[in-house]
Amino acid sequence: MASAAKSRWADTEEDAAFEAKRRKEKEEKKRLKAAERVRKEAAAKEEAAKKAAAEAAAAAEAQARADEEGDNNDDRPPKRRKLTPERGNTDGSKEGEKTTSTEGNILRLGGGALPEPCQSVERYDKLNDIEEGAYGWVARARDRRTGEVVALKRLKLDATDRSGVPVTGLREIQLLKDCSHRNVVELREVVVGDRRPVDNILLVLEFVEHDLKSILEDMPQPFLASEVKTLLRQLAAGVAYLHSHWILHRDLKTSNLLLNNRGQLKIADFGMARYYSDDDSTNGGGGAHLTPLVVTLWYRAPELLLGARRYGRAVDMWSVGCIFGELLTREPLLQGKNEADELARIFDLCGVPTDTTWPGFRRLPNARALRLPPSSSSQPTLTTAASIRARFPLLTSAGCQLLSSLLSLDPEKRPTADEMLDHEYFRQDPRAKQEALFPTFPSKAGQERRRKRNTPNAPQRGAAVADLGSVDFAGIFGGREKEERGAGFSLRMV
């Protein structure tokens, strides 16, 4: 019989015994662990078998119950579910009720069909660049299939941003797809570039020849009063449509207002726009928590400058008031250098706010640091009306009242877009000019140049009289004897 193996590290019999004992304990632990694993597997199999048996029994019971109910009433479906009625149902059943017909009784979920894949931008030939904004680059292009001229807006994507398309681009696409109004720019489709990965996402928009800012910069004289009313009425109609669909534009300015050669104004650039909620349905709006860092500085409402995070459609109406003033003077109304300077210009035009003219303004985050001069409760109102009257001396009383209300410091006192459309200012003479009679301008976006006609100029004062010399006019009437003459008298040259 062979002797037991002895550890090569054991120097004594005691060491060899300790090594054998340790080896035996290790083998015992392995055996117990394997037995525990086998026991758990057996328990899991037993539990699965019990669960399967219970489910089979429940299914058999449900089937038996369904068969019993089917025997009692063959026309009723096995389960009591609300079924969407078939389209074009003429049996008088209401929506959500069961139909007695057994054909087409399936549950239908709303949401429409899956969207079609985006087309390639190669369908369009680029003609020229138009401009580059904060959220995209715009160019003029022509559709190769139809020959139609469109505007292509490429969204700005950050290559280092792993989140993909920015939320501003997604909002702009969603909002433009949901909007359909004559005073809102139309989104035709979304196209992509051919490079992989896709880093070019472009919006195909209708091409509009002008933007109001470029027109105002090139005009030698401001718009007529009737033309201002035409533009304002269209702007108010477009804003009213947006607000009725719970959309805040949040960046209304003259460069974002487009004008075509038929006198039609369109609101564009929805990069800062978003849906909003207004639970209490007030003009200022309780709304949700929103960022105050919106709207270009010169058109930003005072509550945004003071850090308000709850606001509504009144911020757009303040921008409309700033645009109103700019249409009258061809210059931006409040050209602040920074937020503090912008507030100073607003208070200079509209008066210093008080608890009477703007209740609760001191609760805004940035208002706590304001050091305002003491003033009486009636003085700011008089100052606002007087300063606006002095700033716009040719504006009618109704126009001054409308502009004063749009530029009210208190958001609750600003009119809505619907109230603006019904204002007395638009019913006074001169009435708004018809869009078809609106003047046209050379389109910078279309690279049009002002046509120069070879027309004579007025005579210069002090210039010498031209000497005609000897000119023979004898041949002017020559050869007219054979002309056909109609009835009546005929004149003869003597």
Per the CB < 8 A criterion, the answer to whether 278 and 287 are in contact is yes
Q: Assign 221 to helix, strand or coil.
A: coil
Written as one letter, the residue type at 295 is: V
Q: Assign 364 to helix, strand or coil.
A: coil
- Distance, in Å, from the CA atom of 36 to the CA atom of 28, rounded to the nearest integer, reads 12
- Distance, in Å, from the CA atom of 253 to the CA atom of 315, rounded to the nearest integer, reads 12
For residue 219, what are the contacts with CB-CB under 8 A and spacing of at least 6?
A: 330
Catalytic hit among 11, 91, 218, 251: 251
Q: Write the DSSP symbol of residue 156.
A: P
- Distance, in Å, from the CA atom of 188 to the CA atom of 262, rounded to the nearest integer, reads 20
Tokens representing 352 are: 């210093």
On the 0-12 / 13-18 / 19+ scale of CB atoms within 10 A, 186 is: middle
Strand 187-192 relative to strand 119-120, pairing: parallel
Q: How many other C-beta atoms lie within 10 A of the C-beta of residue 241?
A: 18
For residue 306, what are the contacts with CB-CB under 8 A and spacing of at least 6?
A: 343, 361, 364, 365, 366, 367
Active-site residue 251, yes or no? yes
- Distance, in Å, from the CA atom of 171 to the CA atom of 273, rounded to the nearest integer, reads 7
On the 0-12 / 13-18 / 19+ scale of CB atoms within 10 A, 192 is: middle
User: Where does 395-464 have alpha helices with state H?
Assistant: 397-406, 417-421
Q: Write the DSSP symbol of residue 407.
A: T
Q: How many other C-beta atoms lie within 10 A of the C-beta of residue 377?
A: 10
- Distance, in Å, from the CA atom of 170 to the CA atom of 271, rounded to the nearest integer, reads 9
Per the CB < 8 A criterion, the answer to whether 268 and 208 are in contact is yes
Per the CB < 8 A criterion, the answer to whether 336 and 343 are in contact is yes
Give the residue numbers annotated as catalytic, written as ranges. Answer: 251
